[in-house]
Structure 1
Amino acid sequence: MSIIKKLASQTAIYGLSSIFGRFLNYLLVPLYTYYFTAAEYGVVSEFYAYAGFFSVLLLFGFETGYFRFRDKEHPDRDVAYSTGLIFVVLINLSFFALILMVNSQLSAALNYANHPEYVLCFSMILIMDAIAAIPFARLRAENKAFRFAGIKIFEILATVLLSLFFIVYCPKVYAENHESWIAPIYNPAIGIGYIFIANLMASGFKFLLLAPQLSGLAWGFDRVLFGRMIRYSLPMVVIGFAGIINEMLDRALLKYLLPYDSHTNMKMLGIYSACYKLSILMSLFIQAFRYAAEPFFFAYADKSDARQVYAVVLKFFVIFCVFIFLLVSLFIDFFKYFVGDEFRSGLEVVPILLMANLCLGIYVNLSIWYKLTDRTLMGAFVSLAGAALTVALNVWWIPLLGYLGSAWATLACYSSMAIVSYLLGQKYYPVNYDVKRVIGYIGLGIGLYFAYNQLLVTIDWQPWLLAGALMLLYLLITALCEGRQLRKLS
């Protein structure tokens, strides 16, 4: 249990920093949704959807590849690090050169011919983030969670402050006096473009803070090691790309598949994207867990009790995720104020997306079988199957159900991937997961959610009081079922 406590503490460090950082970033959601229309916010959502795909392609899976081949014995001259970093830098410089050549044509193809700066800004953000991913991976591998978290928080804080400056402060000063000191740096015509500019400047600050880690470029490029890393990492590109399809494709397709006019489609895209943000707590925990768990899974794989530990990790992971599901779903009347009134018509997708992200988190846990057995190609096939299901269901359900179809497609995809990954894992890397309790806790969470909706119309209780009572019931049932292991963890 001590190793689980260590994993929990690492997750807490990443999680608290992520929660604080994302909370700051979360404050941008009401800023954007109160200052811009749903259609304008749809533009931002579309670009972030595209960015997800390119972030995978520009990293080539070398983040996970570095964990697999890093030199634990000689960390002061880790050639796997320098080899991966040099390769990622070259790939991204080539990408930037390509964008410079086709920017006008690409902007026109995306219907943003009047704003080619959108594409240019986003490509620069993508490049800096991709290159920074390798130094961040090294910080994680060396258990430098505080430095990792500090840089992440600084980047988000810079994004928030710059967004407030360009979106709130500058328009106010400019409206009072067009010839004020703000005039040379502010142009009202740029509008939502300042969201991209703020992100670009924050990424630049982050890049500067990671400069000491870039000195590892001097350790050289090992061609033989590169061959091993690229063979291991390329399937991770497929896995990552398929994962982005599952996560982001709905927002890219809504613009084209919703059965309305173009303006209404962008409005619906903005509403769906804003409500998607309300599942942020689940995403935060999964992201924090992944930061801590990926290096942990690799480092602990040689221990005799590794598989037993992995099983316990999954169970407690699900317990906490169900808690988050209930917290957001039952107190949705509070969380809805984080988006503007125009966006609240899409709140019905929030519980579905929360459960979808819970299934994604289970898949993250179960995916250790192909990473530890070097069967990344099989993992890629699982992700591709999930991506194919996502595409098919979105094409089928969006015209029929609107953005609600996208939410159900996301849940169907992640739950299917978790099931398939479990079955394959039991064949190639069997772990005795407590399947009955995992399914039981998920069922309990869903049951309490439906009970809340039924009881709300039958008993004369305040919604917050009923929600609190059901949350307490969940915690009591969990404590009774897991009391012995919880005492060991305390």
Structure 2
Amino acid sequence: MNRNKLLVKNTIIYAVGNFGSKFLTFLLLPFYTYYLSTGDYGYFDLITTTVTLLIPIITFQITDGLYRFLLDSKNDNDISRVVSNSFFITLTNLFFFNVIYIIFVQFKSFQYEYLILSQINFNIISAFWAQISRGIRKNAEYSISGIVGTIIVLSLNIIFIIVFHFGVASLILSNIISCIGVIIYLEFRLKICKYIRYSLYDKKLKKELLLFSIPLIPNLVSWWFMNVSDRYFINLYKGIEANGIYAVSNKFPAILIMVNAIFSLAWQESAISEYKSKDRNKFYSNMFNILMIIEFTSVIVLLPLTKFAIKYAVNDKFHEAALYIPFLYVATILNAFSSFYGTGYLSTKDTKGAFYTSSIGGIVNVIFNIILIPVIGIQGASISTMISFFVMWILRIFQTKKYFTIYINKIKLLSLSLISALYIFFYYNNNIMVEIFLLIISFIIFLVYNKNLVSKTIKYLTNKLIFVKKDVV
């Protein structure tokens, strides 16, 4: 299959399983902000933040090694060797973590400690099963598992919050049951357990997996510092309620993060497959410039839409969240750029570069959080995140030149940056007529800059529709 078509196909598959389902989560934001206090929402956000930090440390981020090595597997025996040895590492680490955790909570108890432990365990196992489905190129099953998980978590959230009044526990329980649902679905469809065999224990392969994955731990911890450590500094300097406000602010950039995650999942496979091709630089450059345009124009559209969403879809007690969203949108753009360049580390199996660049970005974020949050409050966290991702992207531009060269369309980068800056400036204007005008212009800007993509999409959908009609006739 043509590489562009394969990338589009995989993007569509991941979009079906991720964007549609995750978008439902965003639509439930009014529900969460109505039934949960700012303190409750802030506490749950801290739980999620902590779990996100712990998982790569507990697992040695072996899921990335699992996925990368599965892509190189030639047959079922190769798949079984990779899956089995990755599973042994994961299971051993989980055992030791559970023992340490249980001992720890005997001396330092906190709310929902055993529910949180269950959430960590099932999150890790479900992520392991999901990554196997990707690695053996069962992308459709991977996406459907995402839909299954989301339907379960959203349904149970509503039941547990409204009917049983479980509060924060509702969100944790829903997540646990959703992970179990994902595991059951993938096992039923793919029979993953058949790949796990103790007889295939391979010390050499285990070492290779660890050498690939372990350097990604500080990389992901650094990403955590840039993405979510802000919550801890806000909680330290401004309190748990301020953290709840900031958590809602992050729900809006989460829309764009979903899109980025979908593209990243598809791009990883294409980038790794095409890494040794002769026109690699041209292919990578073309994909990056398309991504760049989509990122900026999407933010230009989202900025005016966000003002209306905050006013009419979010409870009044969370309206302050609107102030911190623009810089988080910019941070999301820079995050996407950094991730795109970061694929080079996976392609070459040289993950040490990811560690260096992410570590520097994480340090920058912590420094600016300490400097800015006490002075300008929550806004300091959003600006710190933006600066840290910018630093990491610039570092990766220079560091990845030994792998590939991406030629950025500087004219479009400059023009879109200026337009975005103007939209951020007018975002803080509270004139309704100005907001409506900017919203209309934003759609025009999106269509102008993405005319080729829009044209091809319309043509593709039209052809599909004609094909379906012919089949019906």
User: Alpha carbons of 1:363 and 1:165: their partners in 2 closer, same or farther (altered >3 Å)?
Assistant: same
Counterpart AA for 1:347: A
User: Alpha carbons of 1:312 and 1:488: their partners in 2 closer, same or farther (altered >3 Å)?
Assistant: farther
Q: Could you give the per-residue CA deviations for residues 228-260 of structure 1, whole angstroms, max 9, x where no partner exists?
A: 1111111011111111111110012211122xx
Q: Is 2:208 aligned against 1:228? A: yes
CA contact (8 A) 1:369 1:429 kept: yes
Equivalent in the alignment of 2:73? 72
Quick check: 438-447 or 129-138, which moved more? 438-447
Equivalent in the alignment of 2:464? none
CA contact (8 A) 2:55 2:120 kept: yes
SS in 1 for 2:108: helix
Counterpart AA for 2:178: A
Q: Is 2:124 aligned against 1:130? A: yes
Q: CA deviation at 1:46?
A: 1.0
Equivalent in the alignment of 1:205? 181
User: Alpha carbons of 1:72 and 1:269: their partners in 2 closer, same or farther (altered >3 Å)?
Assistant: same
CA contact (8 A) 2:250 2:328 kept: yes
Distance 2:15 2:414 in 1: 26
- 1:52-451 equivalences in 2 (<5 Å): 52-70=52-70, 71-75=72-76, 77-78=78-79, 79-107=81-109, 112=110, 115=111, 118-171=112-165, 190-211=166-187, 212-218=191-197, 220-258=200-238, 265-336=239-310, 337-426=312-401, 428-437=402-411, 439-440=413-414, 442-450=416-424
Counterpart AA for 2:300: L
CA contact (8 A) 1:52 1:244 kept: yes
CA contact (8 A) 1:58 1:91 kept: yes
Distance 1:279 1:95 in 2: 33
CA contact (8 A) 2:331 2:390 kept: yes
User: Alpha carbons of 1:205 and 1:215: their partners in 2 closer, same or farther (altered >3 Å)?
Assistant: same
CA contact (8 A) 2:126 2:180 kept: no
Q: Which runs of 5+ in 1 are unaligned?
A: 172-189, 259-264
User: Alpha carbons of 1:320 and 1:489: their partners in 2 closer, same or farther (altered >3 Å)?
Assistant: farther
CA contact (8 A) 1:238 1:383 kept: yes
CA contact (8 A) 2:126 2:179 kept: no
Distance 2:341 2:286 in 1: 12
Distance 1:206 1:488 in 2: 35
CA contact (8 A) 2:301 2:446 kept: no
Distance 1:342 1:145 in 2: 41
Distance 2:349 2:141 in 1: 30
Q: CA deviation at 1:200?
A: 1.6
Q: 4+ residue stretches of structure 1 with deviation over 6 A?
A: 482-490
Q: CA deviation at 1:87?
A: 1.0
User: Alpha carbons of 1:27 and 1:93: their partners in 2 closer, same or farther (altered >3 Å)?
Assistant: farther
Q: Could you give the per-residue CA deviations for residues 411-465 of structure 1, whole angstroms, max 9, x where no partner exists?
A: 0000110011001112x123132241462354154145157559985xx946334
Counterpart AA for 2:115: C
Q: Is 2:469 aligned against 1:467? A: no
Counterpart AA for 2:73: K
Pairwise CA RMSD: 2.6
Distance 2:113 2:421 in 1: 45
User: Alpha carbons of 1:134 and 1:453: their partners in 2 closer, same or farther (altered >3 Å)?
Assistant: closer
CA contact (8 A) 2:296 2:417 kept: no
Q: CA deviation at 1:360?
A: 0.5
